[in-house]
């Protein structure tokens, strides 16, 4: 059974009635996971919904979501009374807040966490060593999330993520236990998509006003007939390493949609982003080892389901 609890700005807590419909989205292109929960509702007593700030959700005692409340909607029609709460993961606090433009002489991970993460009540679990970045610039108008993402992903090759407990995680995806979907697995829908459009084979990175040009290539895609080049212009005096980072980042981002397997299972919370899935279906399409890029879990009129978007295990998520 699912339990959803709202916490108000003054610490008061409100447990929602048993949900009759819900949807949780994890991973994907957006930095924030998201959720929507609908319950049967009868007005009465003090209305605390307008005071709700954060929400947590648990399924059979397991935490499946921690985030901020974006919207509470309640009312009734001829079908009855309903309450719907929607929200985003704790990453929303970094997405919604604009950073103060500045330049670090040498930026460290400790600097970034101190200035752009911990002020919003988010704790970090760090399992990697990230390099210091000379001349790291925070552009005016950037969100706090963009500052964190640029530092970690662009310079360190690690994509930051916020887990279901609301904690910032800086660690590579763990290749631990693999979920196996054998011939007997109840896969209700499956689509394998190969998309070459938009995938880059080569990136030229040059300094603005300078003559320095770095060429970064995707040798695998070139060998498979790929031919799509982009030219990226960097600020003056960016340096060799920063230019290489930029080129490699552009190539990795373009490859994320090169091959995707999308499938649906008639149960909820089957797999989480980053986990490995071995597909051994009765049909030859899509067999092999995949990594979860996105998971959508929902309860609707037709029942529970999980829709997974899978990518090759070496894809940089």
Give tens-digit pLDDT for 194-231. Answer: 999 989 999 988 877 667 788 889 999 999 999 999 88
| CA trace torsion 106, 107, 108, 113 (10° rounding) | 160
What pLDDT sits at residue 212? 77
Query: What is the band of 46 on the pLDDT scale with cuts at 50, 70, 90?
Result: low
Output the pLDDT for position 239: 58
Q: Would you state the pLDDT for residue 236?
A: 61
Beta-strand pair 229-234/168-170 = unpaired
Residues 6+ apart with CB under 8 A from 302: none
Q: What's residue 5's pLDDT? A: 97
Q: Which sequence spans correspond to the domains of the chain?
A: 2-89, 94-170, 178-194+258-311, 202-255
pLDDT digits (tens, 9 = 90+) for 89-144: 999 999 999 999 999 999 999 999 999 999 999 999 999 999 999 989 898 999 99
Buried b (16+ CB within 10 A) or exposed e, 98-135: ebeeeebeebebeebbebbbeeeebebeeeeebeebee
Residue 48: what pLDDT? 84
pLDDT of residue 78: 85
Q: What is the pLDDT of residue 243?
A: 65
- The predicted structure's pLDDT at residue 240: 57
Bridge partners, residue 259, by sequence: 194
pTM of the model: 0.90
Please determine, for residue 237, whether its predicted confidence score (pLDDT) is greater than 60.
Answer: no
Q: For the domain covering 178-194+258-311, report its CATH number.
A: 2.40.30.150
At 177-191, the pLDDT tens digits run: 899 998 888 999 999
Q: What DSSP designation does 302 have?
A: T
Average the pLDDT over 284-292 and give the result. Answer: 92
Residue 238: per-residue pLDDT? 59
Q: How far apart are CA 284 and CA 205, in angstroms?
A: 41
Lowest mean pLDDT among 13-27, 244-258, 265-279: 244-258
What are phi and psi for residue 91, nearest 5 degrees?
Answer: -60, -20
Round to whole Å and give the CA distance between 170 and 158: 7
Higher pLDDT, 293 or 241: 293
**Pairing mode, if any, of strands 168-170 and 19-27?**
unpaired
pLDDT at 38 over 70: yes
| Topology given in CATH for the domain delimited by 2-89 | Phage tail proteins - horseshoe like beta roll fold (2.30.300)
Taking the domain 94-170, which CATH number applies?
Answer: 3.55.50.10
In order of 55, 150, 218, the CA distances from 203 in angstroms are 43, 18, 9
pLDDT tops 80 at residue 44: no
Count of CB atoms within 10 A of residue 10's CB?
A: 8
pLDDT band for position 248 (cuts 50, 70, 90) = confident
The arithmetic mean of pLDDT across residues 11-36, rounded, is: 93
Q: What is the pLDDT of residue 314?
A: 87
């Amino acid at each position: 059974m699912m339990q959803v609890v709202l916490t108000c700005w003054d610490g008061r807590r409100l447990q929602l009635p048993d949900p009759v419909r819900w949807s949780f989205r994890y991973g994907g292109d957006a930095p924030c996971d998201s959720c929507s929960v609908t319950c049967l509702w009868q007005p009465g007593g003090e209305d605390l919904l307008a005071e709700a700030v954060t929400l947590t959700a648990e399924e059979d005692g397991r935490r499946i979501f921690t985030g901020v409340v974006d919207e509470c909607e309640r009312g009734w029609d001829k079908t009855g009374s309903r309450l719907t709460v929607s929200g985003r993961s704790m990453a929303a606090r970094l997405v919604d807040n604009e950073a103060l433009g500045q330049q670090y002489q040498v930026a460290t991970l400790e600097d970034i966490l101190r200035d752009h993460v911990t002020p919003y009540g988010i704790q970090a679990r760090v399992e990697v060593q990230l390099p210091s970045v000379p001349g790291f610039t925070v552009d005016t108008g950037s969100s706090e999330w963009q500052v964190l993402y640029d530092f970690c992903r662009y310079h360190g090759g690690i994509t930051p993520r916020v887990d279901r407990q609301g904690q910032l995680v800086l660690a590579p995806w763990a290749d631990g236990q693999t979920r196996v979907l054998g011939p007997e697995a109840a896969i209700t829908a499956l689509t394998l998509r190969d998309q070459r459009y938009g995938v880059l084979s080569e990136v030229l990175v040059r300094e603005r006003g300078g003559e320095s040009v770095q060429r970064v290539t995707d040798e695998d895609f070139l060998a498979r007939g790929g031919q799509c080049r982009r030219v990226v212009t960097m600020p003056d005096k960016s340096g060799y390493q920063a230019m290489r980072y930029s080129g490699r980042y552009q190539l990795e981002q373009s490859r994320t949609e090169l091959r995707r397997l999308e499938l649906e299972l008639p149960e909820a919370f089957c797999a989480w982003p980053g986990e490995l899935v071995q597909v051994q279906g009765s049909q030859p399409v899509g067999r092999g080892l995949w990594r979860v890029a996105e998971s959508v879990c929902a309860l609707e009129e037709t029942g529970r389901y999980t829709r997974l978007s899978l990518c090759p295990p070496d894809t940089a998520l």
